[in-house]
């Protein structure tokens, strides 16, 4: 019965996603709203007993690893090394500027509301993530052309790299903070680099197998077997070797997919990604339904918007990029749903056991912000292209 209720919840969330696309909003918002309505804190179609079941946690762990393909397949070294210095600097200024500003705002609020200040870093780490899909859909639909468009496309990839590095570093520090020092300081690099190493090993093996052109079913079997092997190795280290730390499975997935993506041809990679997309969609649906609703939403939306806009403007001005890029690039970086919700799930999985109240703060804030921000951000992104004179 528990599994049937979970499947019914996913089916209803999928339908909600289809309905919300009729309003020209991303389907991920429909999944999120359905999760909030059908979850244990509202209608209760999917009760807490399902979310606490060992089989459910194992499924979510596998899904987290598979999320990594959403980012890892974008990390192609040949493309990254061709990006200019000005683009690198602007990416760093808007990403790190957002992290610093959002963390500072929440640190001030938490200092006077008796919430642990280290939680502010969680919001800063999540806020880095940019969802390029809404802005890129505007590029495709309106055939935008100009400096802002040319800057946004490669920045979407670079932003993912910076976001991954900062978020998982923050996640490791928070894991140590909530353990009350039970995790030694020297274990933080292990929590970051061990998942990367596990993913790299399995990714290399899968890369050699994928070099030869194979049919769709065989390719997907190899890909899914690689994800499963990566998760099993991670679980072994997590339970048998380092019982006092939590390794990150999404980071394993990022490393796994980044390695094999650089070993096969661009045509093979595009074909593989298109075949895997339906599975990735199910994984995202499962994780987004897992989230709920809460507080601090306004502070999060406002501080993130300021960090993105002024960080991008500062970097673009410092590197003498075109004036339209300086003024309007920040607007196109505001969309925020997909990766931020995945990051939220990861942070909440770390907090739920030892600090469930803190998990609710993060979960509720980001879930509500994703709905509100996505509506505002899509409008702002389109306006940015219009003001830059790139929608003809």
Q: What is the pLDDT of residues 52-81, one digit of tens each?
A: 677 777 887 888 788 777 767 767 777 667
Of 129, 73, 66, give the one whose Cα is nearest residue 283: 66
pLDDT at 96 over 50: yes
Residue 177 has pLDDT above 60, yes or no: yes
In the chain, % of residues over pLDDT 70? 78
Angle at 299 between CA 331 and CA 104, to 5 degrees: 95
Look at residue 293 in the predicted model and tell me its pLDDT. 38
Query: Domain segments of the chain: what residues?
Result: 1-52, 60-387
| CA nearest neighbour of 364 among 383, 344, 349, 338 | 344
CATH code, 60-387? 1.20.1530
What distance lies between CA 228 and its chain's CA centroid? 20
Radius of gyration of the chain (CA): 20
Residue 294: pLDDT over 50: no
pLDDT of residue 292: 46
Whole-number Å distance between alpha carbons of 224 and 325: 41
Q: Which two tokens stand for residue 1?
A: 């019965």
Whole-number Å distance between alpha carbons of 70 and 68: 5
Output the pLDDT for position 387: 84
pLDDT at res. 153: 65
For the residues 168-197, what does the mean pLDDT come to?
A: 73
* Closest among 332, 316, 385, 334 to 88, alpha carbons compared: 316
- pLDDT at position 161 is 72
**Per residue in 203-255, pLDDT tens?**
999 889 988 888 888 888 988 999 999 999 988 887 777 765 667 787 788 88
**Which secondary structure element, helix H or strand E, spans residue 243, and what is its range?**
none
> What's the DSSP call for residue 309?
H
């Amino acid at each position: 019965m528990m599994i049937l209720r979970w499947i019914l919840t996913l089916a209803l969330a999928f339908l909600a996603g289809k309905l919300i696309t009729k309003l020209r909003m991303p389907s991920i918002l429909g999944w999120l709203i359905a999760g909030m309505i059908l979850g244990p804190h509202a209608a209760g179609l999917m009760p807490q007993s399902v979310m606490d079941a060992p089989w459910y946690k194992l499924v979510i762990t596998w899904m987290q690893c598979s999320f990594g393909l959403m980012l890892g397949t974008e990390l192609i070294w040949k493309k990254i090394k061709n990006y200019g210095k000005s683009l690198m600097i602007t990416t760093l200024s808007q990403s790190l500027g957002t992290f610093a500003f959002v963390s500072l705002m929440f640190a001030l609020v938490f200092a006077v509301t008796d919430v642990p200040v280290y939680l502010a870093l969680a919001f800063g780490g999540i806020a880095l993530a940019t969802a390029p899909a809404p802005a890129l859909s505007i590029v495709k639909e309106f055939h935008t052309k100009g400096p802002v468009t040319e800057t946004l496309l490669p920045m979407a990839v670079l932003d993912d790299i910076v976001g991954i590095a900062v978020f998982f570093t923050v996640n490791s520090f928070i894991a140590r903070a909530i353990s009350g020092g039970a995790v030694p300081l020297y274990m933080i690099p292990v929590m970051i680099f061990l998942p990367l190493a596990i993913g790299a090993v399995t990714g290399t093996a899968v890369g050699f197998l994928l070099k030869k052109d194979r049919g769709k079913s065989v390719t997907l079997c190899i890909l899914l077997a690689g994800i499963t092997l990566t998760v099993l190795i991670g679980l072994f280290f997590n339970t048998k070797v380092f019982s006092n730390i939590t390794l990150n499975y999404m980071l394993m997935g990022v490393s796994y997919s980044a390695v094999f993506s650089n070993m096969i041809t661009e045509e093979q990679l595009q074909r593989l990604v298109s075949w895997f997309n339906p599975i990735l969609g199910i994984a995202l649906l499962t994780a987004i339904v897992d989230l709920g609703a809460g507080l601090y939403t306004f502070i999060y939306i406002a501080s993130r918007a300021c960090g993105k806009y002024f960080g991008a403007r500062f970097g673009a001005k410092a590197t003498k990029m075109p004036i339209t890029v300086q003024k309007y690039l920040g607007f196109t970086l505001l969309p925020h749903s997909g990766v931020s919700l995945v990051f939220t799930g990861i942070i909440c999985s770390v907090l739920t056991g030892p600090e469930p109240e803190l998990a609710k703060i993060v979960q509720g804030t980001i879930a509500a912000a994703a709905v509100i921000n996505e509506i505002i951000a899509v409008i702002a992104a389109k306006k940015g292209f219009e003001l830059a004179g790139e929608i003809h």
